[in-house]
Structure 1
Amino acid sequence: MSQNLEAIRYKNNKLEILNQLLLPDLFTYEDCSSATQGWEAIHTMKVRGAPAIAITAALSLACELYNLEDQFNLQSLKKYIFDKLDYLCTSRPTAVNLFRMCDEMKFIIEKECLSHENKNLTAQYLKNIFIENAEKLLVKDIQDNMAIGRFGAECFAASKKVKILTHCNTGSLATSGYGTALGIIRFLHAQNKLEHAFATETRPYNQGARLTAFELVFEKIPATLITDSMASFLMKEKGIDGVIVGADRVVANGDTANKIGTYQLAIAAAYHNIPFYVAAPITSIDCSKLSGAEIHIEERPKQELTHINGVQIAAKGIDVWNPSFDITPGILITGIVTEWGVIPKNNKGEFNVKEFLLKKQNLN
C-alpha cells in the first residue's frame, strides 16, 4: 500500500484513480487516461468527492489530448475540447466544482485563441495549454486544503482538546491528497488539539464506514464509527464540540448541498448548541444561485438502498427514494471554512457569500 493515501495518481501524462468501490477490501488503481474513462469513473463513483471529481475530469481529458494522434487545426481542436468538457459535465449533476473547472478551461482556451488570432497558433500549443492548466489543479488543491485545515482548526479554542463529528468522506480520498472537513480533523490531530473523531457510516453508500474509517485508521487518528441514526444521542452523551462536514455546492446565502444526512445533523447540532461548520474550497461556491432551492439534487439507483454487496436486504417490490444530497439552510451553519478564511455571518445571522468573495479578491 502507498505510504500516502491518494485518490488520484498522475505522472508523465498518465492518470490512475483509486477505485473506491473496492475499498476497504482492495486497494486498486485503474487507468483513467481518456475522457470516456474519466466520465465512467465519476459516474459510477469509483472516484468521488467534489474536488476529486473536477481534477479527474480535467486530467483524464489532458491525457487524452496528449495521446491524440488525429490531425486537428486550431478551431477543430477547440471544438473537440469543448465537446469533451460538456460530455464530462454530464457524469454527475450536483457538485459545482466540475462545472466550474469546465467553464474555466473553456475561458482559458478561448482567451488563448483570441490573443493569438493573428499569429501562428498551433493545435499542439493549445493541447499544451490545456494540459498545463489541468496539472495545476492537483497542486493547488492540496495547498487549498491545507489552508482550510488551518483556518478550521482556529475555530476551536486552544485551551482544550475537542471531539469532532464528521459525515461522509472529505479526506484524501475525496480530494487530491489532504482533505476539507477531514483535513481540519487531521490538522487538529497534528496540533494535538483533537481528543477524538466520530464518523457516521453515511448510508446508503457507506462512504463513512468504508472510506472515512479507512483514512482515520490509516492516519492513526483516534476515532469511532457510528450509525447515522446514533448522531443525536452521541451529541447528548459524548459532549461533541463541533460538527464539520464538506460541501458539493455552497450558494450565495450559505445554503449548502452535501451528502444526504447532513441536514439532519445540522438540526441536531442546533438543538444541542454545537457549532456546525462546512468546509469547502472556493471552487465549491456558486453565487449564481441565490438559495439552495435552485440546486439540482441527484437521485441515485434504487439498488443502493435495497442491496448490500449485491445481496438484497429489502422486501421485493418496495418503492425507494434515494436522493444523494440534501440542502442544509445557512441559518443552521456556524461558519463556512474556505482556503481564504471562514465566511462569517452578519449581525442578522445571515451569510453574504458574494460579499466575502469580493472582499477577498480585492485583497488578493
Structure 2
Amino acid sequence: MSGLQAIRYTRGSLEVLDQLRLPHEHHYDNITTSEEAFDCIKSMRVRGAPAIAIVAALAHAVELHNGACKASTTEKTIAYIESRLDYLFESRPTAVDLGNAISHLKTTVRRVVVSGLDGQAAQEKVIEAYIEAAEEIFRKDTETNLSIGEHGAKWVVENATVQSAEGKVAVLTHCNTGSLATSGHGTALGIIRSLHSAGSLSHAFCTETRPYNQGSRLTAFELVYENIPSTLITDSMAGALFATRKQKDHIAAVIVGADRVVRNGDTANKVGTYALAVLAKYHGIKFVVAAPTTSIDLKTETGFGIKIEERKREELTQISGAVVGANGSVDVSKTARVAIADQRVGVWNPAFDVTPAELIDAVVTERGVVEKGPDGRFDFSGVMPERWAQVAGTA
C-alpha cells in the first residue's frame, strides 16, 4: 500500500488533499459541510470516481455527526439526508460511483427499523446508520483496489503479446487512477503498482492528460514517489511510442480507469482515452479498463446514454503553477497563471470521452476480469449477479 493519502478521516473530521497544489505542495482542506465537499469536487481539488464518492459520503457523515440535521421527525431526518445527497450528486454527475454511493446510502437510511423507539432515539439511529454506511464505503474501497491490482496484473502478464526477455511488461496509463483518486493503491495505477511489486513491470509510461494535466501533476508524482521506473509523455506522443516496437520498452498494454462502464462495456473515462484505444487497436496492444463494480452502470445500455460533462474554457486557454526560478528550483510560495492561447478563441472542453466496447480487451473488477464474449459484448453477470438480475435481467 502507498503511503499517499488523498483522504484523511476520523468520525466527525474529514481532510481532503488539495490536488491542485500537487506535486509541489501538500495541503489538506478541512471539509465540514456538503457545500465545502461540493466545491472541493467541482473545482477538482479532489478527483477520481472512487474518491469523489467517498468525499461526498463522508462530508455528509461529518455534518450529521456534528449536529447539522435539525429535523423534528424521523421522516424529516431521512428527507434531509436525501436532499443533501441529491445536492452532492450534482457536483460530478458523470462519475457513476457517486450515484451508486448515493443510491446505497438512501436505501440504507430508508431501511432502518425504528419501531419502538422514541423520536430522538429513532432519529439518532437513522443518522448512525448513515455514518456507518459512509465509513464502510471508505473502508471497502481499499480492499477493492488491492483486488483489482492483483487480478489485473495477473491478466496483463498472461495475455501480453510482447514481453522482455525476463518476462516483464511495459505499460501506459492515462490520467490519474492511483492513491490520489481512491482511498489507496488505486485502480489502473493499482494494477501497475501490483505489476511492479511482483517484479513483472519493466517500465510505466504516463500521459500528461491535457487540459488539466492529471497525468503530469499527479500520476508522474505517484510513480516517482514509489520509485516505479517511469516516463512522462505528452498525449500526442502515444502513437509514436506504440510504433517503437523494436525498443526495449515496447508497450504491452494500455491500462486506464473508468468513470462509468455501461452494460455493453462502453466506457467513459478522461478525454483522450478513446484516442488511445484506437491507437492500441491498430498496434495490437491490449487495452484494459480497471473499474470497481461500483463504476459499472447496468441501467445504461450503451455509451450513447452517458452524459458528458463540459469544463470551463479557461482550462484550455490558461495554465497555472508554481514559479520556477532561474536556477530551476520550484518556489511553491509563488504561483502564476498565464495565457497559453488567444483568450478570444472558441473552446470545446469535454471532460470525458466514451471508448466503445469493441476496442476494449478486458474490464478488471475486484471480483475478477471480464472479457468480451463471442458476440463482442461484455457480460457482467458473473461479477455482479444480484445487480444483473435486478437491472439487466428485467430490461
The bucket for the TM-score relative to the shorter chain is over 0.9
Report the more deviating stretch, 352-361 or 66-75: 352-361
Q: Please state whether the residue corresponding to 1:106 is helix, strand or coil.
A: helix
Structure 2 partner of 1:230 = 237
Structure 2 partner of 1:285 = 296
Structure 1 partner of 2:188 = 181
Separation of aligned partners in 2, 1:180 and 1:226:
21
Separation of aligned partners in 2, 1:249 and 1:100:
11
Structure 2 partner of 1:254 = 265
Separation of aligned partners in 2, 1:97 and 1:205:
21
Separation of aligned partners in 1, 2:343 and 2:307:
29
Deviations 1:69-121 (A, max 9, x none): 63632122111101000000011120001111111111011111xx3345445
Shift of 1:348: 2.5
Structure 1 partner of 2:285 = 274
Structure 1 partner of 2:128 = 128
Shift of 1:352: 2.2
Distance 1:18 1:275, change over 3 A: same
Code of the residue aligned with 1:190 in structure 2: it is S
Q: Structure 1 residue runs of 4+, over 2 Å off?
A: 69-73, 115-121, 156-159, 352-357, 359-362
What is the alpha-carbon root mean square deviation over aligned residues? 1.6
Q: TM-score, normalised by structure 2?
A: 0.88
Separation of aligned partners in 1, 2:238 and 2:203:
15
Shift of 1:59: 0.2
Report the more deviating stretch, 292-301 or 149-158: 149-158
Say which of 302, 315, 318 aligns to 2:313. Answer: 302
Shift of 1:353: 2.7
Distance 1:339 1:277, change over 3 A: same
Separation of aligned partners in 2, 1:198 and 1:21:
22
Q: TM-score, normalised by structure 1?
A: 0.95
Structure 1 partner of 2:24 = 25
Q: Please state whether the residue corresponding to 2:199 is helix, strand or coil.
A: coil
Aligned length, in residue pairs = 358
Distance 1:302 1:28, change over 3 A: same
Structure 1 partner of 2:82 = 82
Structure 1 partner of 2:331 = none
Please state if 1:218 is matched with 2:230.
Answer: no
Structure 2's unaligned 5+ residue stretches are 159-165, 321-336, 390-395
Separation of aligned partners in 2, 1:23 and 1:261:
22
Q: Please state whether the residue corresponding to 1:108 is helix, strand or coil.
A: helix
Structure 1's unaligned 5+ residue stretches are none
Structure 2 partner of 1:209 = 216
Structure 2 partner of 1:60 = 59
Separation of aligned partners in 2, 1:247 and 1:225:
21
Q: Is the 8 A contact 1:287 1:354 kept in 2?
A: no
Separation of aligned partners in 2, 1:30 and 1:360:
36
Distance 1:348 1:206, change over 3 A: same
Q: Is the 8 A contact 1:251 1:353 kept in 2?
A: no
Deviations 1:3-61 (A, max 9, x none): 81111000242000000011111110010121111111011111000000000000000
Q: Please state whether the residue corresponding to 2:128 is helix, strand or coil.
A: helix
Separation of aligned partners in 2, 1:24 and 1:221:
16
Please state if 1:241 is matched with 2:241.
Answer: no
Code of the residue aligned with 2:104 in structure 1: it is E
Structure 2 partner of 1:345 = 372
Code of the residue aligned with 1:16 in structure 2: it is E
